[in-house]
Amino acid sequence: MSNNMKLIQYFVNGCMSDEMEKLGNLVSPKFQYVLNLDECFSWDEFVSRNKSLRHTTNIVIYEISSEDDVHFHYDFDISLPEPNVAIVARGFIQIMVKAGLITRIDAHTRP
C-alpha cells in the first residue's frame, strides 16, 4: 500500500470521527471542497458541513481505490435515520493528493 493511499484512508476515517479538525495538517493551504461541480468550500467550511452531515445522517463509505496514486475515489450512500431511512442519496468522492497533501475533494451526489 502506498503512502498516499495510507494518507487517504487515514483522512477518510478521520472525517468520520469527532476529531476531524485535527486533520487540517494533512490538507494543502489551498484546499478546496467542491460539491457537484458547483459550490466551492474552504477547509473550515468543509469541516463545518461534514460535522453537520455526520450528526444527522448515516453514511456508508465503499472501497477506496486509485489508478495513479494521485486521484483517489470511492462511492458512498447517505441515509436519514429512522423513520426516514428509505430516503437515500448516493454519490462518489474524488480526492486529489499533491506533494503528500490533500489538495481537493470533489463530491458528486445523485438521487
CATH code for the domain of 10: 3.10.450.50
Could you give the CA distance from residue 21 to residue 47 in angstroms, rounded to a whole number? 7
Q: Kindly state whether residue 53 falls inside one of the protein's structural domains.
A: yes
Total of domains in the chain: 1
> pLDDT by residue (tens digit) across 52-104?
877 788 889 999 999 999 999 999 998 887 777 676 889 999 999 999 999 99
The predicted model scores a pTM of: 0.88
Position 94, amino acid: Q
The answer to whether residue 21 sits within a structural domain is no
Q: What beta strand segments (E) does the chain contain?
A: 27-35, 39-41, 58-61, 65-66, 71-79, 88-98, 101-110
91 located within any domain: yes
Domain region containing 84: 3-16+30-110
> Which of 101, 35, 98, 93 lies closest to 63 in space, CA to CA?
93
